[in-house]
Amino acid sequence: MMTIIVASILSLATLAFVTWRYFVVMKAQAVKNDRAYDEDGKFKLASEYHQSESATAAAERKREGRH
């Protein structure tokens, strides 16, 4: 019985770590993709998109107080 409890605790801890790590990696990839869009991607689109910005850039601008 004690083995099952220990195994369950270890499984939950591992699941929590893997889930946390997944979200950290996905956020880092999203920031990387947004920067690539801001630097190069939007200029490959039609000219009306050249003034656009990524969600990350908009959030950073808002956080810094620039409108």
Considering the domain boundaries, does residue 37 fall inside one?
A: yes
Residues whose CB is less than 8 angstroms from the CB of residue 53 and which lie 6 or more positions away in sequence, other chains included: 38, 61
Residue 56 resides in a domain? yes
- Give the pLDDT confidence score for residue 33 in this predicted structure: 95
For 6-58, the pLDDT digits (tens) are: 999 999 999 999 999 999 999 999 999 999 999 999 999 999 999 998 989 99
* Cα(5)–Cα(13) distance, integer angstroms: 12
Provide the domain count of the chain.
1
Domain extent, residue 44, equals 19-67
Kindly indicate the confidence band of residue 65, based on its pLDDT and cuts at 50, 70 and 90. confident
Contact 54/34 with Cβ under 8 angstroms? Answer: yes
